[in-house]
């Protein structure tokens, strides 16, 4: 029997330790989600956690001086780094909270330590909220909430059971405990909701910081190198989320080209953007075709796309869909720090990069595009600014020149471009396997390997057209996309694509895509890409409903709450005649509830007092308060006395746990019992002296 009880207690204790450790681990994940923690700390915490679980009992309480020294050193280092401007104060505080939590993990001896550990883990979660607000933090936060609730309940249970170890009670899980836990949970939930609804920027955005460095992303770099790569990895990460800004039926979102940058200058084995032109603030600008008298009559088909560039993938480039981008703007103000949008002469849309998580913008695009017939017969009278798009590499392979002449001879530029496009996509094969050849990758692709990826196709087409005297340039961006359940089209890093724009006088640059359509876009099969997509779907909702919950949304929520309240008020007031009755009913009801609560509290107090309404005599009352005071002092020395334990029982227990207090406690017990139940006198002076002797013993 005793063995079983002991085993149970052990398992409860270990369950409690595990729950606390898990809560600490979740808190660490929350703080580490931002990826900014110093590497030593990021490594040390899991180690400390493991050690504390494995050897916690042996090291607890030892090497305190070393810990104190280490913590002081850490404070000094962090302070110096902050003062020197090498480290952010928020990050420094977060790292220090991790250190404190590690320290507490190593010293878990009693109830106080366990509660402190939970408190420190909560501190870490707060630090995590300041460091990052990504979905990973959200998930860690939820996990922490669950584990911390377990830990809280189990910690209470464990120490309650241990306190009553000499007579284990089965009903530790008393209804009052459950009710208190539930009340705590409801209170926490209500408080969090209130905080979130009331102070959204305080909750997540306010203290948030953003890493300055962004990731290198395929499709957005300002330079292209055609050789020297290995195989392009099928990167399933989502970079763009696209949806129609307005509810429009039948709007095509999947299988579109999303243009990022254009490249005009051939570097010998790749491309770079031209840098000879400035850029200007974007204002609404009509497509060049609109200058055409025939086109003016045509109805402009302007569509709005809402594009969300996932954190770290927005490199100051606005991606625009097929068609002429009329304008672009950021619907969310970013707190008055709205980025400025520029348009380069080559048609790229850029914005001043800003430190934010996901960047959302709306692009208005005129989707009316000229067909080949409209482009035909525009001649070869090219303006000087497209001269850079006619530059042919000086050491052009004669075979390329010959092929170009063969494909474009005696053809209108439109037909020439179409013929090159068709030839490339038919005669050559798509392959993601890139050869390591660095000498003239175009000739190598066209005549030797006869297979390659989109950049080779587009580069080959540009070179072939330029060789024929038609201005063309290379364009990068994304192609394709995957429909998701959340109503947006996800475009992945693996969807990076490259195609061609050909210049026609009076019509501007018109896109052509020589890559075989089967080779475009990312591979979306497999478990991993699907998992990535599901995660992204969650992240999108998190970003939309939690992070981007801003002042506008807040005012909307508050006004709807206000409206609801006023509607309830109207209903309560009812008609004009009944108004006075209801006006009285509400305060009266509140008063009744308050009175009932007060009466309940008073009755409970009386019941707790154990006097059943009888007024105690002076000696009795003194004895009672003497015992309560003694019990309180002992509780502070970690000897708790259960309410169901009598005075003598308590004395036995105290003698067992705090032998030095035995004498004073026995004296107190005798005096208390004789005065409380035997009607003996108990002088105030005597009571005070007894209590002082107990204090002295406990000291």
Partner 1 sequence: MPAPGPGGPPRPQHYLGHTAVHVRTLAHTFMRGGRGSLALSCQAVIPADVSAPLKALPREIPAEEAQPLTPQEALRLARSLEANVARALRGKAEVIELALAALGANGHLLLEDVPGVGKTTLAHALARSLDLSFARIQFTSDLLPGDITGVSVYEQRSGQFVFKSGPLFANLVLADEINRTTPRTQSCLLEAMAERQVTVDGTPRALPSPFLVLATQNPHEHSGTYPLPESQLDRFLLRLSVGYPEAGVERELLLGGGTEEELHDLRPVATAGDLRRLQAAVSEVRVADEVADYVLAIVAATRSSRFLSLGVSPRGALSLMRAAQARALLRGRDYLEPDDVKALCIPCLAHRVVLAGHGGIRPGLEREATERAIREIAEQVPVPV
The β-bridge relationship of strands 256-263 and 320-321 is: antiparallel
646 binds partner 1 (CB under 8 A): yes
* DSSP code per residue over 502-537: EEETTTEEEEE--S-GGGSS----SHHHHHHHHHHH
Comparing CB distances to partner 1, the nearer of 497 and 624 is 624
Q: Beta strand 280-281 with 320-321: parallel, antiparallel or unpaired?
A: unpaired
User: At which residue do the structure tokens 């003016």 appear?
Assistant: 296
Could you list the beta-strand ranges (E) of 625-697.
none
d(CA 512, CA 519) in angstroms, rounded, equals: 15
Query: Residue 564's CB: how many other CB atoms inside 10 A?
Result: 10
Joined together, the tokens standing for residue 413 give 């530029």
The length of the chain is 699
The structure tokens listed for 34 are: 């931002």
- The verdict on 611 binding partner 1 (CB under 8 A) reads yes
Q: Which CB, 58 or 614, lies closer to partner 1?
A: 614
Of 24-32, 481-489, 556-564, 674-682: span binding partner 1 (CB under 8 A)? 674-682
Phi, psi of 220 (to 5 degrees): -120, -10
Stretch that binds partner 1, among 218-226, 463-471, 506-514, 640-648 (CB under 8 A): 640-648
What's the CA dihedral at 574, 580, 582, 587 to 10 degrees? 150
Q: What residue has token string 């009880």?
A: 5
- Smallest gap from Cβ 615 to partner 1, in A, equals 11
615 binds partner 1 per the rule CB under 8 A: no
Closest-CA residue to 639 (of 110, 83, 65, 98): 110
**Could you say which residues in the range 71-90 bind partner 1, by CB under 8 A?**
none
Find the binder of partner 1 among 279, 523, 632, 648 (CB under 8 A): 648
Position 410 contacts partner 1 (CB under 8 A)? no
Among residues 600, 677, 684, 692, the one that binds partner 1 under rule CB under 8 A: 677
645 binds partner 1 (CB under 8 A): yes
Check residue 284 for interaction with partner 1 (CB under 8 A).
Answer: no
Q: Does 172 bind partner 1 (CB under 8 A)?
A: no
Give yes or no for residue 621 binding partner 1 (CB under 8 A): no
Shortest Å distance, C-beta 693 to partner 1: 21
Contact pick of 60, 642, 658, 689 for partner 1 (by CB under 8 A): 642
Quick one: which segment of 122-130, 566-574, 677-685, 691-699 binds partner 1 (CB under 8 A)? Answer: 677-685
Q: Verify binding: residue 605, partner 1, rule CB under 8 A.
A: no
* Lookup: tokens for 270: 């790749």
Binding region for partner 1 (CB under 8 A) out of 198-206, 444-452, 593-601, 671-679: 671-679
Cα distances from 149 to residues 138, 142, 558, in angstroms, run 17, 11, 30
Contact with partner 1 (CB under 8 A) among 649, 666, 686, 695: 649
Residue 402 or 628 with smaller CB distance to partner 1: 628
Residues 6+ apart with CB under 8 A from 252: none
Q: How far is the CB of 96 from partner 1 (least distance, A)?
A: 45
Q: Which of 170, 299, 575, 685 binds partner 1 (CB under 8 A)?
A: 170
Evaluated on CA atoms 465, 466, 471, 472, the torsion sign reads: positive
- Beta strand extents in 30-151 (DSSP E only): none
- Size of site (CB under 8 A) for partner 1: 26
Q: Which span (162-170, 288-296, 579-587, 660-668) binds partner 1, by CB under 8 A?
A: 162-170
Residue 562 found at the interface with partner 1 (CB under 8 A): no
Helix (H, G, I), strand (E, B) or coil at 173: coil
Stretch that binds partner 1, among 131-139, 556-564, 573-581, 622-630 (CB under 8 A): 622-630
Among 53, 54, 167, 195, binds partner 1 (CB under 8 A): 167
User: Can residue 681 be called a binding residue for partner 1 (CB under 8 A)?
Assistant: no
Q: Which is nearer to partner 1, 581 or 628 (CB)?
A: 628
Q: Is the dihedral of CA 649, 650, 652, 656 positive or negative?
A: positive
**Which of these, 409, 408, 411, 403, lies nearest to 428 by C-alpha position?**
403
Q: How far apart are CA 414 and CA 412, in angstroms?
A: 5
CB of 611 to partner 1, least distance (A): 7
Among 45, 159, 313, 627, binds partner 1 (CB under 8 A): 627
Residue 398 vs residues 248, 297, 404, 406, 507: alpha-carbon distances, Å: 51, 46, 10, 12, 31
Nearer CB in complex with partner 1: 41/641: 641
386 CB-near residues (< 8 Å, 6+ apart): 471, 503
* Cβ distance to partner 1 smaller for residue 164 or 237: 164
Question: Cα separation of 336 and 375, whole Å?
Answer: 44
Kindly state the smallest distance separating residue 645's Cβ from partner 1, in Å: 7
Distance CA 371, CA 295 (A): 12
Asked if 504 contacts 378 with a C-beta cutoff of 8 angstroms, the reply is yes
Please identify, using beta-carbon distances, which residue of 345 and 646 lies nearer to partner 1.
646
Specify the residue, 437 or 670, whose C-beta has the smaller distance to partner 1.
670
199 vs 677 by CB, closer to partner 1: 677
Q: Is 5 one of the binding residues for partner 1 (CB under 8 A)?
A: no
Judged by CB under 8 A, the chain residues 107 through 146 that form the site for partner 1 are none
Whichever of 437 and 649 has its CB closer to partner 1, that residue is: 649
CB of 618 to partner 1, least distance (A): 15
The phi and psi torsions of 616 (rounded to 5 degrees) equal -80, 150
- Contact at 8 Å (CB) between 196 and 549? yes
Report in angstroms how near the CB of residue 664 gets to partner 1 at its nearest. 18
Alpha carbon of residue 527 to chain centroid: 23
- Candidates 255, 679, 692, 696: give the one binding partner 1 (CB under 8 A): 679
The verdict on 647 binding partner 1 (CB under 8 A) reads yes
Find residue 58's DSSP bridge partners.
none
Given the complex with partner 1, which of 491 and 672 has the nearer CB atom?
Answer: 672
Q: Is 674 in the site for partner 1 (CB under 8 A)?
A: yes
Q: Which residues bind partner 1 (CB under 8 A)?
A: 164, 167, 169-171, 610-612, 614, 624, 627-628, 642-649, 673-674, 676-679
């Amino acid at each position: 029997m005793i063995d079983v009880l002991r085993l149970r207690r052990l398992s409860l204790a270990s369950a409690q330790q595990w729950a606390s450790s898990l809560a600490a681990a979740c808190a660490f994940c929350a703080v580490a989600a931002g990826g900014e923690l110093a590497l030593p700390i990021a490594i040390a915490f899991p180690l400390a956690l493991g050690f504390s679980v494995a050897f916690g009992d042996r090291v607890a309480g030892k090497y305190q001086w070393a810990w104190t020294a280490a913590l002081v050193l850490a404070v000094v280092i962090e302070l110096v780094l902050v003062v020197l401007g090498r480290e952010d104060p928020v990050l420094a505080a977060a790292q220090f909270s991790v250190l404190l939590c590690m320290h507490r993990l190593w010293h878990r001896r009693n109830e106080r330590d366990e509660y402190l550990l939970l408190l420190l883990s909560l501190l870490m979660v707060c630090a995590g909220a300041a460091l990052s607000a990504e979905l990973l933090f959200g998930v860690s936060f939820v996990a922490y909430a669950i584990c911390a609730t377990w830990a809280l309940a189990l910690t209470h249970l464990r120490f309650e059971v241990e306190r009553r170890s000499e007579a284990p009670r089965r009903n530790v899980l008393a209804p009052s405990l459950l009710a208190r836990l539930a009340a705590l949970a409801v209170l926490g939930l209500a408080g969090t909701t209130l905080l979130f609804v009331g102070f959204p920027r305080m909750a997540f955005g306010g203290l948030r910081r953003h890493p300055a460095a962004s990731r290198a992303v395929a499709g957005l770099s300002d330079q292209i190198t055609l050789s020297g790569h290995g195989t392009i990895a099928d990167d399933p990460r989502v970079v763009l989320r696209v949806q129609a800004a307005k509810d429009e039926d039948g709007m095509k979102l999947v299988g579109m080209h999303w243009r990022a940058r254009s490249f005009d200058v051939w570097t010998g084995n790749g491309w770079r953007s031209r840098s000879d032109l400035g850029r200007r603030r974007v204002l609404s600008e009509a497509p060049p075709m609109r200058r055409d008298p025939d086109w003016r009559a045509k109805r402009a088909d302007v569509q709005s796309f809402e594009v969300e560039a996932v954190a770290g993938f927005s490199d100051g480039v606005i991606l625009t869909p097929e068609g002429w981008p009329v304008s672009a703007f950021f619907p969310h103000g970013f707190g008055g720090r709205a980025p400025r949008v520029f348009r380069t002469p080559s048609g790229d849309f850029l914005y001043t990069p800003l430190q934010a998580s996901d960047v959302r913008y709306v692009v208005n695009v005129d989707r009316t595009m000229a067909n080949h017939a409209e482009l035909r017969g525009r001649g070869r009278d090219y303006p000087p600014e497209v001269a850079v798009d006619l530059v042919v590499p000086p050491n052009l392979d004669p075979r390329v020149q010959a092929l170009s002449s063969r494909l474009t001879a005696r053809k209108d530029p439109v037909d020439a471009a179409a013929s090159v496009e068709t030839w490339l996509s038919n005669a050559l094969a798509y392959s993601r396997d890139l050869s390591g050849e660095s000498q003239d990758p175009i000739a190598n692709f066209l005549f030797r390997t006869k297979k390659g990826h989109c950049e080779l196709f587009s580069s080959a087409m540009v070179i072939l057209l330029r060789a024929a005297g038609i201005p063309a340039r290379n364009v990068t961006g994304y192609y394709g996309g995957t429909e998701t359940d959340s109503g947006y089209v996800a475009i992945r890093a693996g969807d990076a694509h490259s195609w061609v724009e050909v210049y026609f006088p009076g019509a501007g640059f018109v896109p052509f895509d020589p890559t075989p359509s089967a080779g475009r876009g990312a591979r979306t099969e497999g478990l991993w890409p699907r998992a990535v997509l599901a995660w992204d779907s969650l992240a999108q909702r998190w970003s939309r409903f939690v992070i981007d919950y801003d002042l506008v949304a807040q005012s909307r929520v508050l006004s709807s709450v206000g409206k609801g309240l006023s509607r309830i008020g109207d209903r309560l007031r009812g008609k004009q005649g009944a108004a006075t009755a209801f006006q009285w009913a509400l305060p009266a009801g509140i008063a009744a509830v308050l009175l009932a609560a007060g009466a309940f509290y008073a009755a409970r107090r009386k019941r707790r007092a154990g006097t059943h309404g009888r007024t105690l005599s002076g000696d009795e009352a003194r004895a009672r308060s003497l015992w309560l005071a003694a019990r309180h002092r002992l509780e502070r020395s970690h000897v708790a006395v259960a309410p169901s334990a009598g005075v003598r029982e308590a004395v036995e227990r105290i003698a067992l746990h705090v032998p030095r207090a035995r004498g004073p406690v026995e004296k107190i017990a005798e005096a208390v019992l004789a005065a409380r139940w035997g009607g003996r006198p108990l002088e105030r002076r005597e009571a005070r002296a007894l209590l002082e002797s107990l204090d002295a013993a406990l000291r």
